Each structure stands twice: as structure tokens, then as C-alpha cells.
Structure 1
């Protein structure tokens, strides 16, 4: 991780995302610009939160460990995303792993500054509320679908959600079978069997390194009109 404090490195991102508008006095805040290489961890599950991270460049992978020791993919994040908001409000340790998929950059504010200067800033709290409510909405929708729908339905819902995605559809979109399996709550082996079944039905066409959808209408019927987003 590389860290910068120079105003000329930070200000372009402040302007690009209009971040001055979400703080009562942005000029007084000791922002840092943090750069992470591909595969580098930004936040590690179980660690104490050291501050708030505003993703301003790159792509990150958010996952959570389960009892088996495996990792459950939650979403991919693009700018502008905020990390540390849940932990800040709940006063708990970091709940999810955040890892850079591509070189990524964050504006960072240390936890002491956040607690001392921002927890009474109504502009900041309003922005935090927007991000928290979005996470609650999308996690609730995904949990409901993964709990009540069959694997076949969940796979169809996933494909329909990522075909012309809204924001959350973009966050769960991936070409990798193991990651798709993780999102819809199944195993890669089970998903590969399902892909073969749908290929036999000519809904999908199985390829060496994946698949192609042939019949979106029949896939939509399988999804029962439900979407992750």
C-alpha cells in the first residue's frame, strides 16, 4: 500500500465525486490517498477499523469467511463505494474482507477524525445513511432469493440481473463459475451440472471456459421475474 497526503493528488478525486458537498468543512479534514496493487487486501476481516475508505478508482472484491473456512463472495465494488460504515456505526471489528481486484485507490479518513469531527456532521451522516440503506436493501434481496428459490431459479435470476444490470447487478457480475456459484449459494460442481442441463435444453451453450445464453425469454421464465437488484 502506498500513501499520499499531497493536496494535488487528493483534490482531483474530491472534485470528480463532489466529495466537498458531503462534508461541512472538507478542507479541514486530513485526507490520505491510499493506493493498493491487484490482490492486495484493503481491509481484513476481524481487524479493528482504522478509518473510512472512499473507493475512488479501481475494482475491489468484498467477501466473508464461513465456518468451513471458505470465502463467500458478497459483491464487487466500483467508485464511489464506502468501506467501514457498518463497523463505524455498530462499533464492531471489520466484518468482511476487501481485496483489490485491479489497482485501486481510496481516500481515507482516520477513525479518530471521523469520531471527533464527523459524527455530528449532518451532511456526512446523510451520505452514510444512503450507503448503509443501499447495502441493507441489496443484502436483504439477495438473502431472500437465496433462501427461497431453487438453485436453477437463482442461476436464472443471476443471469437476468447481470444482463442489463442496475447498480447491484454490476456488483455481482463475474465470468468465473466459482464466483457465480458463491453469489447464488451453491457449489461450482452443482453449477456446472446445471449449466450442462440448461445447455441440453438449448437455453445456454456450454463453452470450454464458460457459457453463452441462447434463449433469454426461457431464462426469464425460469427466473419468475425476480431479480437480485
Structure 2
């Protein structure tokens, strides 16, 4: 993680996403840009939550881990998205793990400063309310997806989600096979079943397994199978 103190870059992101109005003048000097490389953890489940972030560039993955150590993917997010909002309002530890899928840029500010300087600023409060209510709606859809759709659909959606960014451009056309155990956990299936589905995808010409990687060969075929990026 790298903190970037650049007022011009900050202003450009605020303007690009039309969110200048949600922050008042008092909090502006305390906003920073934070950069996370692909694969870096932004937040870890169970750890103290100190910052609220606004995703302004890149893609993140959100997943949860049970007490038994099982993980389950909840969603992928692209701008604009808020991270740490529920923790900020409820004053609780981090609920889910958030990981950078691509190179990620976020606007960040400490919870303590937000409470001190924006707690009575209605545009910010309305923005947070809108974001949180949308998350509850999407969480319901996500849980239904994991319960109701077959592994083939979930894997197709996962592969699409981890290999393209918000502009539909490829930042990686492959998935390392060393991470397949994690992939199986994240989409809620067994490693053995996941391998069976991958072999079928290879037979169907959707992907190719080679040299420690799974390469996407037919993106449109995966999109048709996934019915769109359902994890998104």
C-alpha cells in the first residue's frame, strides 16, 4: 500500500466520479489517495477498522471466512464503491476481507476524522445511507447466486471477474492453477469438483490449461454461460 498526497490527482478523481459534494471543506485536507497492487489486502476480516475508502480506479474482490476456515466470495466491485462504511457507522471490526484484483486506487480518510468533521454534513450521510442500502440488496442477490446456480455458472462468472477491469479491458487473461484451492473455496465447491468443471471447460474450448495457468480462450462463451458477470 502506498499513500499518495497529490491534491490535483485527488480533485481529478472527485470530479471524474462526481462526488466532490459529499465531502465538506473541513475534511478535504485529510483525504489521501491510496494505491494497492494486484493481490494486496485492503482490509482483513476481524481486524480493527480505521479507514473509510472510496474506490475510484481498479477492481476489488470481497469475501468472507467462516469460523471453520471456509471462505466464500461475495462480490467483485469497480468504481464507485465504498469500503469500510458499515464498520464506520456501526463502529465494529472489519466484516469481510477486501483484496485488490487489479491495481487499485482509493480515496481514504480516518474514521475518527470523519466523525469529528462530517457527522452533521447531510450530503455525506445521504451518500453513505445510499451505499449501505444498496449493499444489503446486492448481498441478498449474492447469497442466492451461491446457493442456486451450478458450479459451472459460478466458475465462468469468477473467471470473467478476475480477468477484466471496469473498462472491459484485460488486465490478465489467466488464472494461476496454484490458487485453485482458494478458487474452489471462494465459489463454494470442492477442489475435485472444480477440476472436473475445468476439464469440461477445456473440452468445450472455453479455457486452456497450460504451464501452471488457466488461459481464457472464449470470453464470449464464458459470458453466455455466466449470463453476465453475476458476481459483479
Larger Rg: 1
* Structure-2 change in CA distance of 1:189 and 1:19 (3 Å): same
User: Residue in 2 aligned with 1:92?
Assistant: 92
Aligned-pair CA distance for 1:48: 1.6
Question: Which moved further from structure 2: 181-190 or 67-76?
Answer: 67-76
Pick one of 152, 157, 160 that aligns with 1:155.
152
Q: Is the 8 A contact 1:20 1:26 kept in 2?
A: no
1:193 corresponds to 2:190: no
Flag structure 1 segments of 5+ consecutive residues without an equivalent: 168-173
User: Residue in 2 aligned with 1:181?
Assistant: 184
Flag structure 2 segments of 5+ consecutive residues without an equivalent: 167-172
1:187-209 Cα offsets, whole Å, 9 max, x none, are: 23212223445777x59676545
Give the aligned length. Answer: 217
* Structure-2 change in CA distance of 1:132 and 1:212 (3 Å): same
| Correspondence 1:110-189 to 2 at 5 A | 110-149=110-149, 153-156=150-153, 159=156, 176=175, 178=180, 181-189=184-192
Normalising by structure 2, what TM-score? 0.71
Normalising by structure 1, what TM-score? 0.72
RMSD over aligned Cα, in angstroms?
3.9
